[in-house]
């Protein structure tokens, strides 16, 4: 009986502590219905250009965030995206978005980071990582060839 009472008291203390914890992540839904967190702000540097982005609030984005800062040489593909293959897998929850938007940051498969700079229709499956808040000038900054990109927390 004493063990059960002690266990119940510990659970109550944990609940009180959790309720009083002021470290709150503010969540909002963006226009694509993905949950984003204020604490997941990202800076993307391409040459002299800096773009602000927000990572989504899910395990894939958290795993990507754990790799930051990361400076990578992204390869041009199809005149609408740059990609880079990571050495290890990230967790996935892929779906077919239908429309890819300029500024989308996605994971293809479990290792390929993709930054899209044009809007187009796609039948491929991706796990969304985040989104550049204002992609104006992104295509020009990325250029037509391979490019070095720095992803870091803001």
Are 139 and 62 contacting, i.e. CB atoms less than 8 angstroms apart? no
Band (29; pLDDT cuts 50, 70, 90):
very low
Query: In CATH terms, is domain 37-153 a member of 2.40.100.20?
Result: yes
* Residue % of the chain over a pLDDT of 90: 73
Check residue 40 and give its pLDDT: 87
Examine the pLDDT at 91 and tell me if it is beyond 80.
yes
Is 46 a residue whose pLDDT tops 70?
A: yes
Is the whole-model pTM more than 0.85?
no
Name the token pair of 135: 């992609």
Token pair for 56: 């989504």
Position 111 scores a pLDDT of 98
For residue 18, what pLDDT is reported?
39
Helix (H) or strand (E) holding 5: helix 2-20
| Cα gap 19→12, rounded to integer Å | 11
Domain boundaries, the chain: 37-153
C-alpha–C-alpha distance, residues 37 and 60, integer Å: 14
């Amino acid at each position: 009986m004493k063990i059960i009472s002690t266990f119940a008291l510990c659970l109550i203390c944990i609940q009180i502590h959790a309720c009083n914890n002021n470290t709150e992540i503010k969540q909002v839904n963006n226009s694509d219905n993905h949950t984003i967190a204020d604490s997941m702000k990202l800076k993307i540097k391409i040459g002299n250009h800096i773009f602000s982005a927000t990572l989504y609030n899910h395990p894939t984005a958290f795993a990507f965030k754990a790799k930051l800062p990361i400076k990578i040489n992204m390869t041009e593909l199809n005149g609408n995206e740059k990609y880079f293959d990571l050495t290890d897998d990230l967790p996935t929850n892929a779906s077919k978005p239908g429309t890819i938007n300029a500024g989308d940051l996605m994971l293809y498969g479990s290792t390929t980071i993709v930054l899209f700079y044009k809007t187009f229709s796609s039948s491929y499956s991706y796990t969304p990582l985040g989104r550049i808040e204002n992609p104006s000038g992104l295509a020009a900054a990325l250029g037509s060839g391979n490019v070095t990109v720095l992803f870091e927390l803001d």
